[in-house]
Structure 1
Protein backbone atom coordinates (compact mmCIF):
# COMPACT_ATOMS: atom_id res chain seq x y z
CA UNK A 1 0.00 0.00 0.00
CA UNK A 2 2.85 2.36 0.70
CA UNK A 3 3.98 1.88 -2.90
CA UNK A 4 0.58 3.13 -4.12
CA UNK A 5 0.81 6.17 -1.83
CA UNK A 6 4.22 7.02 -3.24
CA UNK A 7 3.03 6.53 -6.84
CA UNK A 8 0.04 8.84 -6.40
CA UNK A 9 2.19 11.37 -4.53
CA UNK A 10 4.70 11.47 -7.38
CA UNK A 11 1.88 11.84 -9.93
CA UNK A 12 0.46 14.70 -7.88
CA UNK A 13 3.84 16.43 -7.67
CA UNK A 14 4.54 16.10 -11.39
CA UNK A 15 1.05 17.24 -12.32
CA UNK A 16 1.36 20.18 -9.94
CA UNK A 17 4.66 21.23 -11.50
CA UNK A 18 3.16 21.03 -14.99
CA UNK A 19 0.13 23.07 -13.99
CA UNK A 20 -2.55 20.40 -14.07
CA UNK A 21 -4.38 21.40 -10.90
CA UNK A 22 -7.27 18.95 -11.21
CA UNK A 23 -5.08 15.91 -11.76
CA UNK A 24 -2.71 16.95 -8.98
CA UNK A 25 -5.58 17.43 -6.54
CA UNK A 26 -7.16 14.12 -7.43
CA UNK A 27 -3.89 12.21 -7.10
CA UNK A 28 -3.10 13.86 -3.78
CA UNK A 29 -6.60 13.04 -2.55
CA UNK A 30 -6.23 9.39 -3.52
CA UNK A 31 -2.83 9.23 -1.80
CA UNK A 32 -4.36 10.68 1.39
CA UNK A 33 -7.22 8.17 1.37
CA UNK A 34 -4.86 5.22 0.87
CA UNK A 35 -2.59 6.58 3.62
CA UNK A 36 -5.47 6.76 6.10
CA UNK A 37 -6.60 3.24 5.19
CA UNK A 38 -3.03 2.05 5.78
CA UNK A 39 -2.94 3.73 9.20
CA UNK A 40 -6.26 2.13 10.22
CA UNK A 41 -5.06 -1.31 9.13
CA UNK A 42 -1.80 -0.80 11.04
CA UNK A 43 -3.65 0.09 14.24
CA UNK A 44 -5.99 -2.90 13.87
CA UNK A 45 -3.00 -5.17 13.27
CA UNK A 46 -1.20 -3.86 16.36
CA UNK A 47 -4.30 -4.31 18.53
CA UNK A 48 -4.83 -7.85 17.28
CA UNK A 49 -1.17 -8.67 17.92
CA UNK A 50 -1.40 -7.37 21.50
CA UNK A 51 -4.57 -9.39 22.12
CA UNK A 52 -2.90 -12.61 20.97
CA UNK A 53 0.03 -12.17 23.33
CA UNK A 54 -2.15 -11.25 26.31
Structure 2
Protein backbone atom coordinates (compact mmCIF):
# COMPACT_ATOMS: atom_id res chain seq x y z
CA UNK A 1 0.00 0.00 0.00
CA UNK A 2 1.39 3.38 -0.96
CA UNK A 3 1.95 6.20 1.52
CA UNK A 4 -0.63 8.30 -0.30
CA UNK A 5 -3.29 5.60 -0.02
CA UNK A 6 -2.56 5.17 3.69
CA UNK A 7 -2.87 8.92 4.17
CA UNK A 8 -6.22 8.99 2.34
CA UNK A 9 -7.52 6.11 4.46
CA UNK A 10 -6.46 7.99 7.58
CA UNK A 11 -8.26 11.14 6.43
CA UNK A 12 -11.41 9.18 5.58
CA UNK A 13 -11.27 7.51 8.99
CA UNK A 14 -11.00 10.92 10.66
CA UNK A 15 -13.94 12.28 8.69
CA UNK A 16 -15.95 9.17 9.55
CA UNK A 17 -15.25 9.74 13.25
CA UNK A 18 -16.34 13.38 13.03
CA UNK A 19 -19.55 12.60 11.17
CA UNK A 20 -20.46 9.70 13.46
CA UNK A 21 -20.10 12.00 16.49
CA UNK A 22 -22.85 14.32 15.22
CA UNK A 23 -26.07 13.97 17.19
CA UNK A 24 -28.97 14.42 14.77
CA UNK A 25 -31.77 16.76 15.76
CA UNK A 26 -34.36 15.28 13.41
CA UNK A 27 -35.03 12.31 11.15
CA UNK A 28 -33.77 14.03 8.01
CA UNK A 29 -30.43 14.84 9.61
CA UNK A 30 -30.18 11.26 10.87
CA UNK A 31 -30.75 10.00 7.30
CA UNK A 32 -28.08 12.34 5.96
CA UNK A 33 -25.58 11.15 8.55
CA UNK A 34 -26.35 7.50 7.76
CA UNK A 35 -25.97 8.13 4.01
CA UNK A 36 -22.68 9.96 4.53
CA UNK A 37 -21.27 7.19 6.74
CA UNK A 38 -22.30 4.56 4.17
CA UNK A 39 -20.62 6.60 1.41
CA UNK A 40 -17.43 6.90 3.44
CA UNK A 41 -17.44 3.14 4.12
CA UNK A 42 -18.06 2.32 0.45
CA UNK A 43 -14.54 3.21 -0.59
CA UNK A 44 -15.81 5.60 -3.25
CA UNK A 45 -13.49 8.53 -3.89
CA UNK A 46 -14.22 11.50 -1.64
CA UNK A 47 -11.60 13.79 -3.15
CA UNK A 48 -11.54 15.43 -6.54
CA UNK A 49 -8.80 14.13 -8.73
CA UNK A 50 -6.85 16.15 -11.23
CA UNK A 51 -6.78 14.60 -14.67
CA UNK A 52 -3.26 14.23 -16.00
Report TM bin, short chain. 0.3 to 0.5
More helix by share: 1
Structure with more contact order per residue of length (Cα contacts < 8 Å, sep ≥ 6):
1
Q: Provide the TM-score with structure 1 as the length reference.
A: 0.45
- Higher alpha-carbon Rg: 1
